Structure 1
Amino acid sequence: MKAAVITSFDRPPIHTDMGEPVPELPGEMLVEVLAAGLHQLTRGRAAGAHYSASGSPPFVAGVDGVGRGTDGRLRYFVQAPDQHGTMAERTVIDPRRSIELPDGCDPVVMAAAMNPAMASWLALRCRAPLAPGARVLVLGATGSSGTMAVQVARHLGAVQVIAAGRDERKLARLPALGATATVTLDDERLGELAGDVDVVLDFVWGECAVNAMQRLLVQRCDRSVPLTWVQIGSMAGQVAAIPGHLLRAADLRIVGSGHGSVPERAMLAELPALVEQIARGTFQIDVQRMPLSAVEQAWSRPAPGGERIVFTP
């Protein structure tokens, strides 16, 4: 069968022949892959750089996908780091790590939306549940996951969603998706606009996150009111040098959201509700569909307009 195969951590995958995957453990299922998204997590594991990465080349790229199993049912599935990759004509899944999809849903849209939507959905359902009237700041709102976070936060009940990002053109689109205010990451008005938020969804981290913390806390009316800072992504750096006085001067609670911090059981329990909303068209996501044979050319370049790339075998 054809697959996107990682032959080295420092090179894109190649579209080549790979041996057929075979179910080996009780309950495993062979699925025909219909769509697999190219996510930051996908790139990170393929480069051996993500904290959840395991194993060494060669292996098939891809962390999730949509496919049809031998039982005839359409499923969205997420693979553990030691399972077969998803960017192939076929893969082997554990059905317990999958969600059956409703009839008529678009496999490409589902493959594009689930990973970026899951980041904020799990953060706001499992790590920093929103109270009525909550206010949310999204740092890195112009990326795929950040744009989805704006929509998810509003859907889950946030009355204010401040969107902060670098791309002013993309920021201009976010009020139509639910943002109540937009601001660039380096704008001094960030603290004024977001000083009294309850939750920060941080997709950037690094020095950028530290600067944002300082601006928010200076403008915060009551520093004893809890501020939950959810670290989700590290687009601006893996390390954030947070001064100790920021932690002493306010009720600032920093938590992470991702593989490990959200138990797998809780993650799987949340997915059906998210699948339902995506299938309904609740969230908008721009998708660029590409044949799997184009994986090497598409791997390292951003999709035009910021669409989520989805490969179809």
Structure 2
Amino acid sequence: MDAAVLHEYGTPQFGTFDDPVKLTGTEIVDVTAAAISHFDLFLASGQHFLSPSQFPFVAGREGVGRLADGRRVYFAAPISPYGSMAQQTMVASQGLIEVPDGVDDAVAAALGNAGLAAWLPLEWRAQLIPGETVLVLGATGIAGQLAVQAAKVLGAGRVVAAGRNADMLRRVQELGADATVNLTTSDSLVASYREAAQGEIDVIIDYVWGPPTEAALQAATVGGRLVQVGTTAGNEITLKGSLIRNQSLTIFGYASGHVSLERRTTVYRHMAELAGQGRLIVPVERMPLQQVEQAWERQRAGTRQRLVLMP
């Protein structure tokens, strides 16, 4: 079968790989769309504890496809040496999510980890209350763009999008952000956050950490909640205990592996239905599997769309 194959750590190459053979407790998926993420690059670099240790193997962690009985499913974490970036893959029978009608394969694939990392921090961790003000740090990335929209769907009264790319900040306003903060040009992030929020902030969804987060916590209201999802701006912050006490702040972590399959299934299907209805815009660019090397380099350089390979 055609596949994106790694013969050593680094960039996969378009080639061929043995077809998977069904084992007990597994399913063979005819892949129709495979999303690329930074996590795929991390695994392929050999620097993650989940990186396969034997070569060759097929790249890719998530995608959409059809089972033998015709069901269309979203899948994650194929069984090594198989990956999502191939005509077929092997997955555990448990953990598959049926994709609802009305949403195309590429969007359904792109909605996986990125969509869950947008919706669940708001609904499950922060338990957003309708009418509250939300600040999304890192709103110009894939998950951030979806988080801005998810906050609106969940009833946020005001959504502030913060990021570094001016063009993308204009785009997230089109997606529903009420105001934006440019993390690069602001002289005082605390003041900029408060001005954009027209007051203090109830919920902070944080994909960046570092100095932008330090400032955001200072702009939070009493009882404010921060959900930590990513660390693109640094792994450390300086945090005064007095700030946490005086504002009664709560900091949550988010990791998709801690979310039950039932909750992930419910949220994924709901987001897919919203996307199918045009109420959730997923930034997707489709590329043929044959162009995996070009797609890989674009992902490494940074892209504001989810690149999706079509086998």
The percent of aligned pairs where both chains have the same amino acid is 41
Are positions 1:97 and 2:100 aligned together? no
C-alpha contact 1:128 1:199 (8 A) present in aligned 2:
yes
In the alignment, does 2:5 pair up with 1:5? yes
What does 1:1-313 align with in structure 2 at a 5 Å threshold? 1-9=1-9, 11-26=10-25, 28-49=26-47, 53-58=50-55, 59-79=57-77, 84-186=82-184, 187=186, 188=188, 189-194=192-197, 196-214=200-218, 216-217=219-220, 220=221, 225-302=222-299, 306-313=304-311
Amino acid at match of 2:176: G
Secondary structure of residue in 2 paired with 1:67: strand
Structure 1: which amino acid aligns with 2:204? V
| Partner Cα distance (2:278, 2:33) in 1 | 18
- Separation in 1, partners of 2:291, 2:146: 26
Shift of 1:132: 2.2
What TM-score results when the alignment is normalised by the length of structure 2? 0.88
Deviations 1:111-145 (A, max 9, x none): 22333222111112211111121211000111111
The count of residues paired between Structure 1 and Structure 2 equals 303
* Aligned CA distance change for structure 1 residues 103 and 249 (closer, same or farther; 3 Å): closer
Deviation at 1:53, TM superposition (A): 2.7
- Hey, what's the Cα distance between the residues in 1 that align with 2:159 and 2:79? 33
- One-letter amino acid matched to 1:286: P
In the alignment, structure 2 segments of 5+ residues that lack a partner are none
Of 171-180 and 73-82, more deviation after overlay is shown by 73-82
Structure 1 unaligned blocks of 5 or more: none
Whole-angstrom CA distance in 2 between matches of 1:288 and 1:151: 19
SS in 2 for 1:294: helix
Amino acid at match of 1:21: P
Change (3 A) 1:281 1:149: same
Secondary structure at 1:247 match in 2: helix
Q: Distance in 2 between matches of 1:304 and 1:18?
A: 28
Residue 157 and residue 82 in structure 1: after superposition, are their counterparts in 2 closer, same or farther (change >3 A)? farther
Deviates more, 1:147-156 or 1:125-134: 125-134
